[in-house]
Amino acid sequence: MSKGEIIKNKLIEEVSNQPRLQWLLLVVVIILLISVTKSYFDLVYNERENTQSEVRIHEKLLDVQSTDFSESTLTNNKELAYSLLNKLPSASSNSTAEASALATLEADLQGIIERSRFNLLGSEEIIVANEKLWSIRIEVNGRLPPKQLIKFFTLFETEKSNKRIASIQYSPTTANTAVIAVDFLYRERK
């Protein structure tokens, strides 16, 4: 008898003599089967999700293909986009736009936010329709009394298309503290 057969016979004899070891091996086999089954079902689920996503994209493409293309609608949308771009304030450079945004915001909030501090969070260059734009984000910290709240929000009405409130944290119960992030949009002066 070879050494491998002797080890095999000893293992079989050991397992057959100990019922606890048999149960333990059964539990291990069941856990392995469950794990393999779960992996298989996860794979099937992921493939199903990918297929459904592709079917939705295909349906959207078919919808787009079936709609008529209107040259006049495209022209009208282009004119609207250019008119909105022309309403934006212009600046000769990114740093000029940042300085202008800081000065504008400081002047607008004069008397509305008490003990205000302004921090330039950053700027980003955006290219739209061959136009270079700069998006500038400024953070304002200070006290915003409740009686000034409406006046504050009127500064950001939709007619003023170059600035918006990106986020606001206002605590009227704790000394009226406010942390506001404001975005400005400037176009490059040509």
* CATH 3.30.70 applies to domain 89-188: yes
pLDDT tens for the chain, 190 residues: list them.
Answer: 688 888 888 888 887 888 888 888 889 999 999 999 999 999 999 999 999 999 999 999 988 888 777 788 888 888 888 887 778 888 888 888 889 888 988 888 888 888 889 888 888 888 877 888 888 999 999 888 888 888 888 888 766 678 888 888 888 877 888 898 988 888 888 7
User: How many CA atoms does the CB half-sphere of 89 hold within 13 Å?
Assistant: 18
Q: Say which residue the tokens 């293309």 belong to.
A: 69
Domain ranges in the chain? Answer: 3-61, 89-188
3-state secondary structure 73-85: HHHHHHHHHHHHH
What's the predicted TM-score (pTM) here?
0.59
